[in-house]
Structures are given as C-alpha cells and as structure tokens.
Structure 1
Amino acid sequence: MTTTYPRAERAARARLAAAELAADGIDGVVFGWVDNAGLTRVKSVPLAQLEHAAEYGVGAAPCFDVFLVDDSITSAPGGTGPVGDLRLVPDLDRLTRLAAQPGWAWAPADRYTQAGTPHPGCQRRFARRATDALARRGLTVRAGIEVEWVVARADGTPATTGPAYGMTRFVEHSDYLREVLRALTAQGLAVLQLHPEYAAGQFEVSVAPEGPVEAADTALLVRHTIRAVSARHGLRVSYAPVFTEGSVGNGGHLHLSLWRDGLGLAAGGPGRHGLHPEAEHFLAGLLAELPALLALGAPSVASYLRLVPSHWAGSYRCWGLENREAALRLITGSAAGQANAELKCFDATANPYLALGGVLAAGLAGLDAAHPLPPETTTDPADLDTAERLPSSLAEAVDAFEKSTLLREALGPELYEAVLAVRRAEAELFAMHTDAEVVEAVRWRY
C-alpha cells in the first residue's frame, strides 16, 4: 500500500537543516540514486532550494529505469519512454557534509510520482520493503559492503604496481589514503579497515555494519568520497569488476548477519559453527536463489570476467567456514557480535539497494520454508567433481532471474520488468565484444 510522503514535515526539517548547513559554508546539496545498470546518478540544488526539494522533490525522468551502462536507453513493458516525470526526494536523515568537496552536502534520494506516492520502480524503497518484511517477523539484519577500487594515474595506468597487500604501495600513497580515511571519518562513517589489495593499484575499505538500507546508502557515500579525494590528488578511480583483463578484479562483497532480540544468530547456536536454525534457513534461502540473485548482485557483462575460479571471487554455489572460493563464506569473527556471512560473488556494478533487497527476500523465503542448509564445502570447490559453478555469463544469470517467481514477486512487476529489460539489453549490447573490449568499455563507467 502506498502513502503520500509528509511534505510539510520534510519542508520544516529541510528549512532547519539548510540554516545549519549555511552556517558551515555549504552552498549546494547533491542527491544521489542508482539506476538499474548500477550507475550512480545525481542531481543537485543550491542550498536555498533544499526546502522546496524536500517538499516537492526534484524532477528525474522515469526513463532512467532503463538506462544502460553506455547511457543508451532500452524499453520495458509499462514504460513511458520520454513521457512523464518522477520526483527525487532527499532523505534528510542521511544529509552529510562532503569532506572532500568543500561547500557541498549529499543525501540519498527516494523516487516518488508527481502525485506524491512512492514510485514502484524505486530501488531504495524495494530494499526498505524487504527490511520491513523481516522486521515483522521480529528479525533485523546488519549489513556492510566492502568497497574495492583501482586508483590510476591520469593516463589510466595503475598508480602503483605492487606487491599485493604490500607496504610499498601503502607508503607510496600514504597521504592519499590518509585523506580518504579523514574524509570518511569526518562524514561520520566508522572505518574498520583500509589497506592495499591484490591487483595493481587496488585498495579496499570496509566500514561498520548498519541496517540494509543504511548500508547501501553508505556504499554510495564511500564511493563518492573516494572518487572526490582521488580527483584532488590528480588520480582516477575504477570500481569496475575487471580493470585489467585476466587479473583479479574489484568485488563488492556483501557481509550480513541476522539478529533477533539483540542476539546475533550466527554464533552460539546448536547448528554447524554455532549457527542458529533461523540463520541456517536464511543462508539456505540465499544459496537456493543465488543463480538468480546474480542478476542483481553481479549484473554486468564484465562481472563474469571476474567471477572465475582461483580468484577468490566465489564462483561456486556452496558455503564454508572461511572458504574464500565459496560464494557464501561464513566468518565466525574474533569477538561477540562479529559473526557474519559474506557473499563474495557480488561486485560494485550492482545497485546496492537491489542486491540487498533481493538477498533479504531470498533469505526470508528460506526462513518461511525452513530450507535445510546443504553440507559444508571444506576444501577448494574446484577440486570437487560435485561442485556447482554459478552462472558464467550475464545471459545465464538473466535466464535464472527470469525463472525466479520469488524475485518477480518481491520486486513487483514494474521494477522486475525494468531490471530484466536492462539485463537483456546489456547482454545483447556486448554479445559480439571480446573480453578485452568489454573491459575497455566499462573500465571508467563504474
């Protein structure tokens, strides 16, 4: 059931927020949202227009639902093409002063119709619906998305070449990384780790877990901040799944834990490695739906150049304790409350709201059906004749997505059809491209 948003209340809050921002030297506010191709889009307003934007929204055409990675546009059943308009309404609870862009603030946006009702294709609202469905069962989820990126020089070459995880690249970019850390911290984010990664020029940052919608918001803010800091240092950033053909790529690993009454259900239970029965059912639901979920969590053609064995990308449909080749890695943690599950097969081409909403819907289905968790994989699944590979192409993932009644019902017809149209169109767009051409085409799009 849709409801109108409280315009007067939003306007009053925005008026107070604008006064505070003005005192801090803020001149404008940028609103961010993510399309179905996984690209973050923005609109901005001068600070004087924040109250109006909060009350009535800012216009954004509905055709953004069917934009592709190259900015071409496809179509979906029920779409209006160039006709009509939607309204971007900022979430004032996440209004943030941007530390790396002086004079600017940022907020994620929900999308509404011009009549003030929620747009059925709003991905952020989809994640909220899934979160609310769990809450009605007395459950909460804490989630976090790792952000991996390659930092490059102006000519596009990696800004450092190694060694992997090495002190050398950390020292070479000490000032840059310090500014990333300072900017994230100044924006109220609790950074857990910041370190060099495996591939040339690659780094990773992880932040403290939050609710699902908040974790998706934070992923956008982290990427936005890293890109801004990089620009100040004359560097370029890529979050693409593969930066260099044949090399380990950038993941967007999703960590999540299930909680009831303040108790984490991934530790202290009677099941394997301390899992509670509800946690086992939830994880079983993820594994059951995982091929279809890849259309949300690994949604680009380039995703499948990363999702290969021996790259710690989680290309096998299995789970295991600290098994980095399994799609679902169980992490017990070293302290109370740290136990969680990690989906390794997702990457940063995903719209994080779609990815999280889909995962919650699948886990909830596993809970409702009391799905049993399959046997654990305790070795490299590549060594097992029985190991099941996940889809090896976007086309295969789209086939699984199209057959998923669960995701069709969870997303709703308008959002489901738009996602399906974009996935099909991108698979066709790159059908005749070589791997090298795919890498080149998307390297700087994400």
Structure 2
Amino acid sequence: MTTTRPRAERAEQARSAATELASDGINGVVFGWVDNAGITRVKSVPLGQLVHAAEYGVGALPCFDLSLVNDSFATTPSGAGPVGDLRLVPDLDRLAPLAAQPRWAWAPADLYAQDGTPHPGCQRGFARRATEAVERHGFSVRAGIEIEWVVADAAGHPATVGPAYGMARFIEHSDYLAELLDALTRQGVAVLQLHPEYAAGQFEVSVAAEGPVEAADTTMLVRHTIRAVSARHGLRVSYAPVFTKGAIGNGAHLHLSLWRQGRNLGHGGPGSHGLHPEAEQFLAGILAELPALLALGAPAVASYLRLVPSYFAGAYRCWGLENREAALRLIAGSAAGQANAEFKCFDAAANPYLTIGGVLAAGLAGLAAGLPLPPETPSDPAALVGAERLPASLPEATDAYEKSALLRQALGPELYESVLAVRRAEAELFAAHGDEDVIEAVRWRY
C-alpha cells in the first residue's frame, strides 16, 4: 500500500499518477476516510498538490476521532479537542477516476501524526494490522460487503413503489441502474449482482471478494459512486440502518472466507458442510465475540431498530447453512472458491475498517484457542426455545464491547477508548428519543 512506503516513494508515485490524471482531464483528487461514528468524511486537493499530499499528507482534526453522527463530539480524558493536527495520506494504489464526477479522482486515506508515524486511532490502519496478523499465522482472508441503500425523491419519499425484487421497480429505474453499473465498471469494481431489494426504494449491489482492507476500500468507493450517480438523477440516498419504521433496513452483510496455500478452508473439509477445522475455529471465535463486535458493526442507536427477528437481520447468535435468520449464514456455494460465511447482523452505519478488523481479530483468537463451532441451528431461531438473542440496544452492545479484553488489545488503547466514548455519547444523545425521532435524526446522515 502506498501509505506504508517512504515519503520519497509516495511522492514519485504521485508524480506519475498526476501526469496520467491530467491527461484524462482530471484536476482534483478526493481523499476519503470513515470516522468512528460511521460517517464518511472527505478532503480534496487540486491535482497540482497531489505530490505534496502524498508525501506529507493534508491536515485533519484529531477531534474527528470523537465525532458523533450529528457532528457534535464525545470527550475522553486524553481527547485532543481543538488542539493538534493529523495528516491524511492518500493510498494511491487505490486511486480511481470517478466516472460519475468528471474531473475528479478518489483515493482512501490513512491517518498519520505530523512526524510521519501512524496515528494509533486510524481505523484503516487497524484493519491492516488485523490482516497482517492473520497472514503471519499462514492464512489469508477474502472478503466482500453487500451494499444496500434506499433511493428517495426530492421530498425524501422512497422513489419506487414496485414490489420487492420486482421487475416494475427495476424498469422504473433502469437508466439509473445502468449508469451506476457503467460507472462502477469504469472504476474497476467487479460487480456480481445489482437488483431491487426488499424495502420500498431499496437496492443492493454485491461485488467480488478481495483482501480485507481492499474490501473496505471498495465499499467506500461504491457508496461514493452510488451517491454521485443518484444525484445526477435527482435522487437522494440513505444508507441508514432504518429508513422507515417497521420496514427492513439497510444491512452491510460481511462475507468472508479463510484460505491457506490457495485452498478455501470452507470447502472440502471433514467438518460440517465441508468446513476444515481451522475454518470452524475461526468462525467460532467470531461467534464468541459477536455481542462485542456489534459495537463496531452495528454502531448506531438506529442499528437496533433493524436488528430484530424476522427481518433477515441475523438477530440471534447462532449459525446455519443458508439460514438467513442466523447471525452467521454459512454459504456452501456451487464451487470450491465460492464457499463463505455471511455475517448478517452488521449494517451500513458501520465503519467497514472497524468491522473487518474486529472480525479478523476475533477469528484469529478462535484459531489460537481451538474453539469448537457450536451446534448448527437448522431452522428459524425465533421459533426455538432458548435461542440466544444478540444485544437489543446500543448500550447493551457497548457493555459487551467494554468488557472485551480481546478487542481492547486488538484495537489498541487509543482507538478502543475513542470508539467506546463515541458509542456511549450516541446512546446518551438519543436516550430520550422515540424510534421515529431516531430514524428521522439519522436518515440522511449515512
């Protein structure tokens, strides 16, 4: 990755990139990062400043480590507040001209201190460290995140009236979807599926699996592109966990598979449905830590209006083959490379780097401990006596997170404490609000 290279090498890569971008008529580059509240933030530079930005970064306020969904801030004893400065350093390996925003390009960014050392609160850096830890143990992970969103008209009402997965809805927005598919393809995104989803105005796009950090990067790029294409069609976009009370919400289902020496350990093994022992242990580790992981992957008060039984949200801590009500849906696939695990309980308010990094850390802990996979849940857990619900509120998930020694160690003290402060502050922010008020307050924030 560009950001891990010496400054001189980053500058040289930026010079080459700037020349190529200029020949394509691009005159500005957007740098994107995601804060602990799950809000995507951006800064941009004119093309003539790209070399300097790649070498030294551009300024970013440390207080954004503690920003909330409404742009207010949490506090911690070590919080910098208005004092200090960080540097956003773009990863030019992921530089992409934006097909729906002519004359602009995009790159994800890492956070550094002014002296050039990595910022311990950088979420992308955390995902990278977690990936490297898995690789040091001789494994690799392929991951992808489903992206669901609601499109609305200028008045904020869902912009489709057709049935779920319906042809009518698809035809109604055929030009919009075609332009989106074209934009993603031109940006190098390997789209697997694009279709209407269940809720009114809802669509979904699925992309090919990549390395963990790359999967999070692609999620950012795809969301950016969806929003840009939608704007060109006069549509508004919401990735909020719930758009309308009582309706199925926007998930961000994480798919992953564990590999070793070119073999998918979710296929052809002696365990349940072809799982190899290492895959069982990896998944068992994630299941064991799942209540605490919700503070990363379902981070909003509104997340728990989505995470309810019978909404295909995975509200129970269990697993099952093709079980869409289990938090972990095992997918056997029709070929060796397709087998994977889908975690359905995560939503689109999450910072994808935090979600992926936390899941990898938990899976690696399961491997280290040799955890056994619990018995399978082969039917709807809501109909079973004793089925374990996942946390039903943000405070409950945050309590589990605060007790997690595993996540404290994996995230490091600064990032861990920042996430904790943001979760507590957002729970307090909405403590006196009813469901409708919460939905209204965050509908257009994500």
Q: Smaller-chain TM-score range? A: over 0.9
Shift of 1:4: 8.0
Equivalent position of 1:206 in the other structure: 206
Equivalent position of 2:254 in the other structure: 254
Distance 2:237 2:77 in 1: 35
Whether 2:303 is the aligned partner of 1:303: answer yes
Say if 2:266 and 2:279, in contact at 8 Å, map to a contact too.
yes
Distance 2:444 2:76 in 1: 26
Matches within 5 A, 1:350-389: 350-389=350-389
Matches within 5 A, 1:64-75: 64-75=64-75
Equivalent position of 1:79 in the other structure: 79
Shift of 1:5: 5.0
SS class of match (1:337):
helix
Matches within 5 A, 1:8-407: 8-407=8-407
Say if 2:143 and 2:211, in contact at 8 Å, map to a contact too.
yes
Say if 1:146 and 1:254, in contact at 8 Å, map to a contact too.
yes
Cα deviation, 1:128-176, whole Å, max 9, x if unaligned, reads 0000001001100000000000000000000002201000000000000
Cα deviation, 1:366-423, whole Å, max 9, x if unaligned, reads 0000000000000100011120000000000000000000000000000000000000
Say if 1:146 and 1:253, in contact at 8 Å, map to a contact too.
yes
Shift of 1:77: 3.1
Distance 1:395 1:5 in 2: 40
Say if 2:241 and 2:349, in contact at 8 Å, map to a contact too.
yes
TM-score by length of 2: 0.99
Shift of 1:188: 0.3
Shift of 1:262: 0.4
Distance 1:4 1:15 in 2: 17
Equivalent position of 2:7 in the other structure: 7
**Aligned AA for 1:46?**
P
Cα deviation, 1:173-229, whole Å, max 9, x if unaligned, reads 000000010000000010000000000000000000000000000000000000000
| CA RMSD of superposed structures (Å) | 0.8
Distance 2:426 2:366 in 1: 30
Distance 1:195 1:21 in 2: 32
Distance 2:263 2:4 in 1: 35
Cα deviation, 1:8-65, whole Å, max 9, x if unaligned, reads 1101110110000000000100000000000000000000000000000000010000
Distance 2:337 2:126 in 1: 27
Say if 2:268 and 2:336, in contact at 8 Å, map to a contact too.
no
**Aligned AA for 1:285?**
G
Cα deviation, 1:250-290, whole Å, max 9, x if unaligned, reads 00000000000000000100000000000000000011000
Say if 2:101 and 2:228, in contact at 8 Å, map to a contact too.
yes
Distance 1:236 1:46 in 2: 27
Distance 1:193 1:336 in 2: 20
Distance 2:265 2:77 in 1: 41
Say if 1:36 and 1:351, in contact at 8 Å, map to a contact too.
yes
Distance 1:173 1:23 in 2: 33
Distance 1:345 1:172 in 2: 30
SS class of match (2:338):
coil
TM-score by length of 1: 0.99
Say if 2:97 and 2:104, in contact at 8 Å, map to a contact too.
yes
Structure 2 unaligned blocks of 5 or more: none
Distance 2:286 2:55 in 1: 38
Distance 1:78 1:115 in 2: 19
Report sequence identity in percent.
80
Cα deviation, 1:338-365, whole Å, max 9, x if unaligned, reads 0000000000110000000000000000
Say if 1:4 and 1:117, in contact at 8 Å, map to a contact too.
no
Going from structure 1 to structure 2, the CA distance change for 1:217 and 1:98 (only over 3 Å counts) comes to: same
Say if 2:28 and 2:103, in contact at 8 Å, map to a contact too.
yes
Greater mean alpha carbon deviation, residues 277-286 or residues 5-14: 5-14
**Aligned AA for 1:363?**
G
Say if 1:242 and 1:439, in contact at 8 Å, map to a contact too.
yes
SS class of match (2:204):
strand
**Aligned AA for 1:412?**
G
Structure 1 unaligned blocks of 5 or more: none
SS class of match (2:115):
coil
Say if 1:77 and 1:417, in contact at 8 Å, map to a contact too.
no
Shift of 1:81: 0.8
Shift of 1:335: 2.0
Distance 1:184 1:260 in 2: 30
Shift of 1:331: 0.2
Distance 1:78 1:14 in 2: 35
Distance 2:125 2:78 in 1: 19
SS class of match (2:31):
strand
Say if 2:98 and 2:106, in contact at 8 Å, map to a contact too.
yes
Cα deviation, 1:101-149, whole Å, max 9, x if unaligned, reads 0000000000000000000000000000000001001100000000000
Distance 2:183 2:5 in 1: 32
Distance 1:258 1:182 in 2: 31
Distance 2:304 2:197 in 1: 20
Say if 2:252 and 2:347, in contact at 8 Å, map to a contact too.
yes
Distance 1:77 1:177 in 2: 47
Matches within 5 A, 1:407-446: 407-446=407-446
Greater mean alpha carbon deviation, residues 17-26 or residues 334-343: 334-343
Say if 2:216 and 2:353, in contact at 8 Å, map to a contact too.
yes
| Number of corresponding residues | 444
Shift of 1:316: 0.2
Shift of 1:336: 2.5
